[in-house]
Structure 1
Amino acid sequence: MVQETTSDRTMRRQVLLFFSVLCLSYVLGQVSYSIPEEMTKGSVVGNIANDLGLDLKRLKSGKARVYTGASVEYIGLNKERGVLLIKERIDREALCGETTPCALHFQLILENPMELFRVTVEITDINDNTPSFTNAEKRFEISESAVIGSKFILEKAIDSDIGNNGLQQYSLTPTDNFVLKLENQADGSKKVEMVLQKPLDREKQEYISLLLTAVDGGEPQMSGTMQIFVNVLDANDNAPTFAKPLYRAKILENSPKGTSVTTVSASDKDIGSNREVSYLISTSKRVLSELFKINSKTGEIILIGELDYEKAKNYQMDIEAVDSGGLSDSTKVIVDVIDINDNNPHINIVSKSESILEDSPPNTVIAMLSVNDPDSENNGEVECNIDGNIPFKIQTTLNGFYTLVTEVALDRELASQ
């Protein structure tokens, strides 16, 4: 008869698992920081050890690490100092675009025992972008018979910064014949128009040069300019007028190229060539020219690119109608992208263990999972299930995170793995 040693008995009481988790309990907590964009690599974000009440020895023994899922790890952990450091350059505009507030969300994971802490780092804007115009100049041909109050649509400036650092105001010089008019729009931008305040006289001045300046509110203040040239012509009494100030359309995100989005329509009371209207999409947002085009004669807007609801839920564009005399009007078109179920749920194993003692109590944690689906509403809702006939169950811990725990007492003699 072979004598069983203490070591043999210990090994006999362990249950081998197909996935690994190094600890059997977890603690949830969270901490938040706020930093400006464009901090240099190695800059300190915060002392997370102090803020979470963790000992530096615990960070080392628990093999502390930052978990970002599939995202870029912009911020790393220095376990020796217990601080979070900038790991990659953070450009708020590239990371979040116009979305505010802009924040990075990740987790700090420790093992033995398992602990998970949620970390949120808000990225604040700095004035690192200059207001700019897509085109360096704009040319008009305007009849000398244009009536006082005639409006001419100007291009909007682009400034990727937000808040006070973003675009604040415009100015137009000189103001002998034209003044600037700004009109607030539903999306928060301003409609920029040049309004005739003094009659033109081609015999006195055939060409007029103006300068449109866009200024932000940052420190130091930044500005961009566009040159405007007016060629004074004869005769055109009426400007085009759109049938509606706002058009709204819906389109599926998987719609093929060539799909008709909507059709805009403007009319002109003039006769002959002066009533002929041409349509164009304003180039204030470069992405629009990659996704949509408009038939200059009919006003039909056509999809020419690929849509992705997960990247943009809607697009807003300014459509101009210009007649042969240079008079113009504009309308707003909002295109809502309809989500389809085109993304599979993603399952990531955050932490796992290789073995468990058979005398472990029920609800012992053996794995921690992260599950997400980029789709929206019902398409993005996920349900986690586990195959039957095994003594485990799945529990929700917080949004997108689950734990796999024991459901009943284990018996190695009945099942060793």
Structure 2
Amino acid sequence: MSIRTMARQVLVLFFSLVSFSSVRAQVTYSVPEEMPRGSVVGNIAQDLGLEIKRLKSGKARIYTTDSAEHIELNRDRGLLLIKEKIDREALCGQTTPCAVHFQIILENPMEFYSVTVEVTDINDNPPHFKKNEMKFKISESAVPGVIFVLERAVDPDVGMNGLQSYSLHPTDHFTLKLQKQADGEQIVGMMLQKSLDREKKEQMTLVLTALDGGDPQLTGTAQIHVTVLDANDNAPVFTQKVYKTSITENTAIGTAVIKVSANDADEGSNSKISYSITNTEGVIPELFHVSENEGNLKVIGNIDYEKSHRYQILVQASDEGGLTDQCKIEVDVVDRNDNSPVINIMSKLNMIPEDSKPGTVITMINVQDPDSGENGKVYCFDGLCSLSSPDLEQ
């Protein structure tokens, strides 16, 4: 008879009778990121109701399936301490809440306790622009109300410490225009509010400022250089505002994903369209590239379903007169069964006394498979204690 379990579930082997007395409690702590090494996370002995001598006699230790141990146990004091300074952004990126999970293992008798340490954000990153300069060529015939898409700032902090607002100065000819889409993404643009006259002013410089909501508030800036050109009456227009497609993880580099297309009613050089990806944050520029002239989106990096299930790619079409349009490509990643189950021995007895009682714990095993759905289900068979993931692709 097989026992079916999911990844990360702890399996306990017994002689004959099943007992869960070895699992006694679960404790949760919360600490801010960037705490110095040696800082106290919590009094684990007190919170678990254990005496110091039990920690020592049981050879209490931390067990984690992650090779990076951020927390250490001081058995003499019964305290959990910061082992290495934790950078929340490096640990979890934009994922919230951010937490470290591990177990406290004791022997003689064998026990384990689950511990979660939530790492909270501090405002240690200002908003910033990948490019500190943006250049536009705009026709003097551009009609007030036309919007020019700007590069968005990025801020690895989360919540109120993350990016909150923008400002644009001066506002003689342009004003800031923020457009929130249905999926929550925000398009940042500057809207022409007063007609341009190349004969009066051919060059102008604006400053775009990004602000977070921390205390103190942090900011980042980028300069916008505008060159005023003679007439270009029509902006490019994409045939679709949203393109949708899907690819399997581990798709070969160079594979064409989808083609976008825009049209421009102008003639000559003003109708020539070039395409570019405007995402500057995260991994999008490392994974995808759009051909400048054809608008073909291709894979240029390793696509891993376990890292991201979906990518949203912003593509801009620009004509030589400086007018633009933008579309979004939604790429869903299909999981492949490319990860084998992994067995880790959490703790075991080297010798089993012949007078051991039924229900005595002899081994604790951690089993996990990072794949999802059916591909991530793990099967453990009694006796053989062998694990397999169904239909694993070799």
TM-score normalised by structure 2 residue count = 0.90
Query: Which deviations, in whole Å up to 9, do the C-alpha atoms of 1:356-389 show, x marking residues without a partner?
Result: 233433332210000000111111110111336x
Deviation at 1:63, TM superposition (A): 0.4
**How far apart are residue 323 of structure 1 and its match?**
0.7
SS in 2 for 1:59: helix
**2:163 — aligned with what?**
167
* Cα distance in 2 for residues equivalent to 1:236 and 1:250: 36
Give the residue type in structure 1 aligned to 2:84.
E
Q: How is 1:201-216 mapped onto 2 (pairs within 5 angstroms)?
A: 201-216=197-212
* 1:300-339 map, 5 Å: 300-339=296-335
1:146 counterpart residue number: 142
Is residue 182 from structure 1 mapped to residue 178 from structure 2 by the alignment?
yes
Q: In the alignment, what sits opposite 2:11? A: none
Deviation at 1:130, TM superposition (A): 0.9
Q: What's the CA shift for 1:25?
A: 6.5
Query: In structure 2, which of residues 327, 351, 375 is the aligned counterpart of residue 355 of structure 1?
Result: 351
Letter paired with 2:76 = E
After superposition, residues 88-107 of structure 1 pair within 5 angstroms as: 88-107=84-103
User: Does the alignment pair 1:68 with 2:64?
Assistant: yes
Q: What is aligned with 1:240?
A: 236
2:53 aligned counterpart, secondary structure: helix
> 2:30, 2:285 → 1: CA distance?
35
Q: Is the 8 A contact 1:144 1:199 kept in 2?
A: yes
On the 8 A contact 1:25/1:113 being kept in 2, the answer is no
Superposition RMSD on alpha carbons, in Å?
1.6
Alignment of 1:5-404 (within 5 A): 26-285=22-281, 287-387=283-383
Q: CA deviation at 1:282?
A: 1.0
Superposition deviation, residue 186 in structure 1: 4.5
Match of 2:378, SS?
coil
SS at match of 2:283: helix
Q: How many corresponding residue pairs? A: 367
Contact 1:25 1:364 in 2 (8 A): no
Per the normalisation by structure 1, the TM-score is: 0.85
Check conservation: 1:46, 1:83, Cα contact below 8 A. Answer: yes
Q: Deviations over 1:327-348 (max 9, x none)?
A: 1111122222211111111101
Quote the sequence identity (%): 59
CA distance in 2 between partners of 1:194 and 1:241 (Å): 18
Q: SS of 1:356's equivalent?
A: coil
* Structure 1 residue runs without a partner (length 5+): 1-23, 395-417
- 1:134, 1:283 within 8 Å by CA — same for their partners in 2? no
Shift of 1:286: 5.3
Letter of the structure 2 residue corresponding to residue 81 of structure 1: R
Q: Which runs of 5+ in 2 are unaligned?
A: 1-19, 387-394
- Please identify, of 65-74 and 286-295, the stretch whose mean Cα deviation from structure 2 is larger: 286-295
Larger radius of gyration: 1
Shift of 1:51: 0.7
CA distance in 2, matches of 1:186, 1:168: 18
Q: Distance in 1 between matches of 2:90 and 2:144?
A: 44
Measured after TM superposition, the shift of residue 138 of structure 1 is 0.6
Aligned-partner SS, 2:379: coil
Please report how far the alpha carbon of residue 71 of structure 1 lies from its aligned counterpart in structure 2 after TM superposition: 3.1
Relative distance call for 1:188 and 1:89 in structure 2 (3 A) is farther
Evaluate the alpha carbon distance shift between residue 92 and residue 188 of structure 1 in structure 2; reply closer, same or farther with a 3 A threshold: farther
* Secondary structure, aligned partner of 2:380: coil
Q: What amino acid is the match of 1:113?
A: P
Rounded to whole Å, the distance in 1 between the matches of 2:288 and 2:103 is 39
Find the aligned partners of 2:66 and 2:122 in 1 and give their Cα distance: 27
